[in-house]
Amino acid sequence: MNSSVASGNWWTNTVVGSVKADARTRAYVAKIGLLALAPEETTYYHLFDVDGEPISSDFVYELRGNQIPARWWSITLYGEDHFLVPNKENRYSVKSTQIEREADGSFVVYLSKEPHEGNWISLGNGQNMSLSLRMYNPPPDIRQRLDKLDLPTIHKIGKAL
């Protein structure tokens, strides 16, 4: 049974955190995140590439999104080793309760190794990085539309300085 579901560049696994997770899925979760909450509590998405290439500190990216269907959410950057990417600013993530929004309610997050005004996640000096979107207390019907969510889009907007 294929339990992977894609929504744009993001993907999720429908059995993570549930009793339906097989040994391979549980091992993967243990490797990248130690544990997973039940699907009714949290939905996890991951993004590993932009235009078919791994996320790299050699570039600057723009992440654009709208309201994410959850009581609380966060988007966090991880290194190739599945740990936070070291950076002197300690800027690893953005979260729904602190993100600056545009006039229409949308948001823009910049990912770069150099500081950026507004919402910014530092890429440090990492290569082959990934983003994790955690959606806490999503609406009950979310499991039926995991592949149709309006999740943030990411675009490479230039080379790093």
CATH of the domain at 70: 2.60.120.600
What average pLDDT does range 138-152 have in this prediction?
93
Q: What separation, in Å, do the N-terminal and C-terminal C-alpha atoms of the chain show? A: 45
State the residue range of the domain holding 98.
Answer: 4-159
Q: Read off the pLDDT band of 19 (50, 70, 90).
A: low
User: Which CA distances in Å does 106 have to 10, 47, 63, 64?
Assistant: 18, 19, 11, 7
Residue 20: the pLDDT is 59
Yes or no: say if 121 and 91 are a contact pair by the CB < 8 Å rule: yes
Per-residue pLDDT tens for 83-106? 999 999 999 999 999 999 999 999
Domain tally, the chain: 1
Residue 4: the pLDDT is 81
What average pLDDT does range 59-76 have in this prediction?
97
Least-confidence region, from 68-72, 122-126, 141-145: 141-145
Long-range contacts of 2-9 (CB under 8 A, 24+ apart): 5/146, 5/147, 6/147, 7/45, 7/146, 7/147, 7/148, 7/149, 7/151, 8/151, 8/153, 9/47, 9/49, 9/50, 9/153, 9/154
Regarding pTM above 0.85, the answer is yes
